[in-house]
Amino acid sequence: MTTAIGVREVSQPPAEVWRALAVLEPYCAVCDVSYVVDRPGSGPGVGTTFVCAPGQLAGGAPRPGSPRGEILAWDELRLVITRLDLTPETWTTRIELAGTPAGGTRVSITVTHEPVGGSRVVRRLQRGAMRRLVQRTVDAELAKVPAHVARAAHTS
């Protein structure tokens, strides 16, 4: 298992950042990813499952084999944890929000990669590369936070 953590502060209050980061919209233009949620119309929460597919979906149906995910924790305005199952790996993302004294938000993102099956020897050989990939993933997600917040403000 490989884990990386990163933190970024933004000037917007936690409620705005939560709306920008924790709500699974049908399509996220910032990430170029579509989500198909199992309970459309109802609010997301623990146990909500979804399919995540690259690009914008034509007709609303994900491609066969698209990664499946689940919300593992949901504490409105503070914490969301999701798991995305790919073959042969699982990615878990934890997003925590905390207010700052200036009225902004401290965003903490933790990403964990866990291989499923496969050779321990191969995993050991790839360990350094995987550590770098997971850290780059965290850094890239933190870099997108301002764009997510700006997009959410524009669409509300």
- Structure confidence by residue, pLDDT tens digits, 81-94: 999 998 788 999 99
Across the range 122-129, mean pLDDT stands at 73
Per-residue pLDDT, 127: 78
Q: Which of 61-65, 113-117, 127-131, 132-136 is predicted least confidently?
A: 61-65
pLDDT band at residue 137 using 50, 70 and 90 as cut-offs: very high
Task: State both tokens at 150.
Answer: 């700006």
Mean per-residue pLDDT of the chain: 87
Q: Which of 22-26, 33-37, 102-106, 137-141 is predicted least confidently?
A: 22-26
Per-residue pLDDT, 23: 77
Whether the pLDDT of residue 79 is over 80: the answer is yes
Across the range 25-52, mean pLDDT stands at 81
pTM for this prediction:
0.87
Whether the pLDDT of residue 152 is over 80: the answer is yes
Peptide bond into 26 cis (omega under 30): no
Selected residue with higher pLDDT from 121 and 47: 47
Whether the pLDDT of residue 116 is over 90: the answer is no
